[in-house]
Amino acid sequence: MSCVADLGSTGEQQSSPTDAQAFAPGSAQVLVAGATGFAGALAAHLLWRHPGFELVGITGRSETGRRLDDLYPRYRVPLEIAPLDLDDLGQIDAAIVAYPHAAAAPTVGALLDHGVRVVDLSADFRLSDLATYERWYGPHPRPELLPHAVYGLTEFHRERIATARLVANPGCYPTASVLGLAPLARAGLIADVVIDAKQGLSGAGRTFDDTTHMSMAGENITPYKVAKHRHTPEMEEQLALLGADLPVQFQAHLVPLDQGEMASCYVTPTRPVPEDELLALYHDAYAAEHFVEVVDAPPGVREVRETNFCRLFAAADTHTGKLLVFSAIDNLWKGTSSQAIQNLNLMFGLPETAGLL
């Protein structure tokens, strides 16, 4: 799968620059499309304070003419929300697209046609198989772009991300779950897995329904999208690439938090795994990763709130023989927007940690 390919309508080959040579820190100009939602607004906030990028525009299909620091005062981004004008992009080098699935793909394609490198926060390019995408999401608006997208789980695809023109930012649940299960998948130790995940209200976005309205969500825990959550095939595809090709039993729950996510993974191993072997497996897997921390006690979501960190804890249950893995992230940060910045850093030859510590 080549990332240096004809992605536009002109037939001209678009090549990515040698990033560290092509862009000095602060010289790459970035646009956030869809800055009125939670993910887009946070991405704009992180870019506004980033030492290596210049945020030159924010767009939205609502709230146009309003400043982002009026809509989201805590982010203090003093730019005005404008409609996206693809005919007047100026010297944009990169864009973060924060649109819903199906709505994102046409805009992503148009940006690529203009030579803009894109990190897409929607689900439109996360799955490499078109049939799988259409089974879970319906017809794909730009299926010809699927082979050119690189899945943006940074810890596992960083070399391809660095040269990509289109990065598909992972879903928050797959981020937590795949990071948690990857060491076991690589070791061929997963015979079966159940992922029981819980997330705060921000994961539902700014539009509330009867389930996510505070009057229903407060003092409550609610399973949702039972046996049909669209993140399931994303987890299955990534785990298969790591060596665990199997169906995943995944269930999401809404909990009365603002933001935060915990993926509790219950693994039936292919053979007995002693505790010391399990811990060594996790420590070795993530020893060189700045944003993945293997800890000695079960983590809570407060420990990672408003950070790009994932905290992992693994244990072997001697009674049942199962392996337990707990993965905590902030669903808006490592699960969405700060991971997008981590990927953008790679795409422009900057340290992965730039703007995230």
pLDDT tens per residue, range 239-290:
999 999 999 999 999 999 989 999 999 999 999 999 999 999 999 999 999 9
Q: What confidence category does residue 10 fall into, taking pLDDT thresholds of 50, 70 and 90?
A: very low
d(CA 104, CA 63): 18
Q: pLDDT digits over 130-165, tens only?
A: 999 999 999 999 999 999 999 999 999 999 999 999
Cα 172 to Cα 228, 285, 320, 355: the distances in Å are 16, 21, 29, 20
What pLDDT does residue 203 have?
A: 58
Give the model's pLDDT for residue 205: 53
- How many angstroms separate the CA atoms of 90 and 224, rounded? 43
Q: Which range has the worst mean pLDDT, 26-40, 150-164, 208-222, 337-351?
A: 208-222
Could you give the angle at the alpha carbon of 138 between the alpha carbons of 136 and 142, nearest 5°? 115
In the chain, % of residues over pLDDT 90: 83
Are 327 and 176 spatial neighbours (Cβ–Cβ below 8 Å)? yes
Which residue would you say has higher pLDDT here, 183 or 222?
183
Evaluate if residue 218 carries a pLDDT over 90. Answer: no
pLDDT in tens, 287-329: 999 999 999 999 999 999 999 999 999 999 999 999 999 999 9
Task: State the CB neighbour count (10 A cutoff) for residue 165.
Answer: 24
Q: Is the pLDDT of residue 18 over 80?
A: no
> Which active-site residues does the annotation give?
172
Using alpha carbons, select from 266, 313, 316 the residue that is nearest to residue 293: 313
pLDDT at 17 over 70: no
More confident residue, 316 or 8: 316
Residue 210 has a pLDDT of: 52
Q: Give the model's pLDDT for residue 27.
A: 79
pLDDT at 29 over 80: yes
Residue 91 has pLDDT above 50, yes or no: yes
Give me the chain's average pLDDT, please: 90
Instruction: Say yes or no to pLDDT of 60 above 90.
Output: yes
How far apart CA 324 and CA 194 sit, in angstroms, is 10
Range with lowest mean pLDDT among 17-26, 34-43, 229-238? 17-26
* CA-wise closest residue to 203 among 342, 21, 25, 329: 329
> In the prediction, which pLDDT does 206 show?
45
Contact in structure between 344 and 30 (CB atoms under 8 Å): yes
Of 8-22, 65-79, 89-103, 150-164, the one with minimum mean pLDDT is 8-22
pTM over 0.85? The answer is yes
Residues 6+ apart with CB under 8 A from 172: 199, 203, 261, 329, 331, 332, 334, 335, 336
Residues carrying CATH 3.40.50.720, the chain: 19-169+336-347
The CATH code belonging to domain 19-169+336-347 is: 3.40.50.720
Tell me which residue has tokens 């146009």: 64
Residue span(s) of the chain under CATH 3.30.360.10 come to 173-331
pLDDT at 217: 58
Nearest-angstrom CA–CA distance, 137 and 230: 8
Least Cα distance to 88 among 116, 68, 65 occurs for: 116
pLDDT digits 0-9 by tens, 115-139: 999 999 999 999 999 999 999 999 9
> Which CATH architecture does the domain made up of 173-331 adopt?
2-Layer Sandwich (3.30)
